[in-house]
A and B are shown apart, each in its own frame.
Chain A
Amino acid sequence: MFRRVLIANRGEIARRVIRACRGLGIETVAVHSEADATAPHVRDADVAFAIGPAPARESYLKVEALLGALRASGADAVHPGYGFLSENAAFARAVGAAGATWIGPSPEAIAQMGDKAKARRLMLEAGVPVVPGSAVVPDEEAAVAVARNLGFPIMIKASAGGGGIGMVPCETEADLRKGFSSAVARARAAFADGAVYLERLVHGARHIEIQIVADCQGATAHLFERECSVQRRHQKVLEEAPSPAVDEALRRELGAAAVQAARAIGYYNVGTVEFLLGPDRKFFFMEMNTRLQVEHPVTEMTTGIDLVELQLRLAAGEALPFTQSELRQSGHAIELRVYAEDPAKNFLPSPGTITKLRWPEATDVRVDAGVVEGSKVTPFYDPLLAKMIVHGRDRAQCIAKARAVVGATTIEGLKTNLPVHGMVLDDPAFQRGEITISYLGALMQRQRGH
């Protein structure tokens, strides 16, 4: 097992990884920007290194600065968390070249899945169903020709994209002609790569993803599904496990497809295969996230498996400690993402200082927070403050508990999306499990209409 792990991240996920390391007796090394010098993740770690100014480009995204901290700290492994450089194959490779272990999959697997158009092709070859779509389209005319074949509506997507960035929905050919060049420009600006491809829009679809775990000896299993359809601007807001739309037979199919996807690229460590699930129960591969997901706790709460501890063990060369047939889902879990944003101002980010903070205290409630009372929430990083995860014996009880959790939480000094969670949990359609990826947008629009 590792002696000392450097966590190349900040906020709640850095603290989460530190907790898992503690449990295994591993020393922890934090890194921080100037804006985060007194952040909770810095205080939690055994040692900390300053890596640069506040903007992420000059600190958490700066490979040289992180490698400097790695050398200076003597850490023998790096956990990248999610976001930042977690899906950067070059960084993963550089960590290996520096003599440390990357707690994640191989750089090759990261690169294969990071190129979304290539990943589509690989999955097609592996027999995994993908959304009807195209390879990279070179120009507007080619895009129009492809789109006529696919049928509208379609979505323009950046090949190097992710996190919903650079996606342009087109209802008609006119939309496509209007949006094509700006989609290319945005892809180039965001990812330094203007390659785009097209995908048919699947109406009434849900976002369902499968947690994959695999060891370096080739054993691969899945830890069932997460339902992540409650989204706004392609960002997940509330996740749950299991999905109210997935029965045992569909779960087996989804799980088998995800395991097939992972095996096709020789995947090891933990990862997530994202699918669109249509109202006709047909499902399509969207992408694979080659890292730990934000919403991993709903899987932990329903399977009893500590995914970060497992990541550390797998990266250290241990074998999977279970087989597929030994795994069970138990009860229901919901994660509420708490964002610093103002629902009354169309979800504008809401930086500021947290003047009062009271998390709910109850059994079956877990809070993974990146902030404490007095924390200054800066405009430099993403607005996720914390995740509140609730477990119940079934979905109805879990929803009721989650509702109580929202009511028992106090965050003052800045605006948060907590009222939105209250609205969703109170909504009869949500309670009936009638959610698609357009659900939250439509709910918010209805609320504004009143």
Chain B
Amino acid sequence: MATEVEAQITGSVWKIEKGVGDAVQEGDVLIILESMKMEIPVEAPCAGRVSEIRVQEGASVEEGAVLVVIA
């Protein structure tokens, strides 16, 4: 069952911390968003393996946009 990890806020992608194929634990930081001069970490909601990264560093994202898929 794949889990889609969404942006909790509108902003831009500052850093991508994990790559496709990486194993992650619940709470691991996947991506760091930047909004209003703050860095906002996006954490893995569950353990699994990163199967897809749908954004690039520097991209603008809306709240609710899918950033990463964990399988």
> Which residues on A are within 8 Å of B, measured CB to CB?
55, 340-341, 345, 348-351, 379-383
Q: Chain A residues near B37 (CB, 8 Å)?
A: 381-383
Indicate which residue in A55, A345, A349 contacts B38 across the interface (CB closer than 8 Å): A349
Known A379-B35, A381-B36; contact A351-B10, beta-carbon cutoff 8 A: yes
Residues in B8-53 with C-beta less than 8 Å from chain A: 8-12, 34-38, 40
> Which residues on B are within 8 Å of A, measured CB to CB?
8-12, 34-38, 40
A–B Cβ pairs within 8 angstroms, 30 of them:
A55-B12, A340-B36, A341-B36, A345-B8, A348-B8, A348-B9, A348-B35, A348-B40, A349-B9, A349-B11, A349-B38, A349-B40, A350-B9, A351-B9, A351-B10, A351-B11, A351-B35, A351-B36, A379-B10, A379-B11, A379-B12, A379-B34, A379-B35, A379-B36, A380-B36, A381-B37, A382-B37, A383-B36, A383-B37, A383-B38
Shortest beta-carbon distance from A236 to chain B in Å: 14
Q: In this complex, what residue of A is CB-closest to B61? A: A379
- Besides A351-B10, A379-B12, A383-B38, 17 more A-B contacts (Cβ < 8 Å) are A55-B12, A341-B36, A348-B8, A348-B9, A348-B35, A348-B38, A348-B40, A349-B11, A349-B35, A349-B38, A351-B9, A379-B11, A379-B35, A379-B36, A382-B36, A382-B37, A383-B37
Q: In this complex, what residue of B is CB-closest to A165? A: B37
Shortest beta-carbon distance from B13 to chain A in Å: 12
Which 5 pairs from chain A and chain B are nearest by CB?
A349-B36, A379-B35, A383-B36, A379-B11, A349-B35
* Complexed CA–CA distance, A341 and B9 (Å): 11
Q: Chain A residues near B11 (CB, 8 Å)?
A: 349, 351, 379
Q: Chain A residues near B10 (CB, 8 Å)?
A: 351, 379
Shortest beta-carbon distance from B34 to chain A in Å: 8
* Complexed CA–CA distance, A207 and B19 (Å): 42
Q: Chain A residues near B36 (CB, 8 Å)?
A: 340-341, 349, 351, 379-383
Shortest beta-carbon distance from A267 to chain B in Å: 28
Shortest beta-carbon distance from A421 to chain B in Å: 18
* Complexed CA–CA distance, A341 and B8 (Å): 13
Q: Chain B residues near A379 (CB, 8 Å)?
A: 9-12, 34-36
Q: Chain A residues near B34 (CB, 8 Å)?
A: 379
* Complexed CA–CA distance, A341 and B37 (Å): 12
Q: Chain B residues near A349 (CB, 8 Å)?
A: 9, 11, 35-36, 38, 40
Q: Chain A residues near B8 (CB, 8 Å)?
A: 345, 348
* Complexed CA–CA distance, A350 and B35 (Å): 9
Shortest beta-carbon distance from A108 to chain B in Å: 28
* Complexed CA–CA distance, A292 and B7 (Å): 36
Q: Chain B residues near A340 (CB, 8 Å)?
A: 36
Q: Chain A residues near B12 (CB, 8 Å)?
A: 55, 379
* Complexed CA–CA distance, A199 and B33 (Å): 30
* Complexed CA–CA distance, A381 and B9 (Å): 14
* Complexed CA–CA distance, A350 and B63 (Å): 10
* Complexed CA–CA distance, A264 and B40 (Å): 40
Shortest beta-carbon distance from B27 to chain A in Å: 15
* Complexed CA–CA distance, A281 and B9 (Å): 43
Shortest beta-carbon distance from A1 to chain B in Å: 35
* Complexed CA–CA distance, A268 and B9 (Å): 42
Q: Name the residue among A340, A349, A380, A383 with the largest chain B CB count within 10 angstroms.
A: A349
Q: Name the residue among B9, B12, B40 with the largest chain A CB count within 10 angstroms.
A: B9
Q: Chain B residues near A55 (CB, 8 Å)?
A: 12
Q: In this complex, what residue of B is CB-closest to A163? A: B37
* Complexed CA–CA distance, A379 and B13 (Å): 12
Q: Chain B residues near A383 (CB, 8 Å)?
A: 36-38
Q: In this complex, what residue of B is CB-closest to A56? A: B37
Q: In this complex, what residue of A is CB-closest to B34? A: A379
Q: Chain A residues near B40 (CB, 8 Å)?
A: 348-349
* Complexed CA–CA distance, A348 and B36 (Å): 9
Q: In this complex, what residue of B is CB-closest to A55? A: B12
Q: In this complex, what residue of B is CB-closest to A351? A: B10
Q: Chain B residues near A345 (CB, 8 Å)?
A: 8
Shortest beta-carbon distance from B30 to chain A in Å: 16
Q: Chain A residues near B35 (CB, 8 Å)?
A: 348-349, 351, 379
* Complexed CA–CA distance, A383 and B37 (Å): 8
Q: In this complex, what residue of B is CB-closest to A352? A: B10
Q: In this complex, what residue of B is CB-closest to A342? A: B9
Q: In this complex, what residue of B is CB-closest to A233? A: B38
Shortest beta-carbon distance from A202 to chain B in Å: 26
Shortest beta-carbon distance from B10 to chain A in Å: 5
Q: Chain B residues near A341 (CB, 8 Å)?
A: 36
Q: In this complex, what residue of B is CB-closest to A346? A: B40
Q: Name the residue among B12, B34, B37 with the largest chain A CB count within 10 angstroms.
A: B37
Q: Chain A residues near B9 (CB, 8 Å)?
A: 348-351, 379
* Complexed CA–CA distance, A357 and B30 (Å): 37
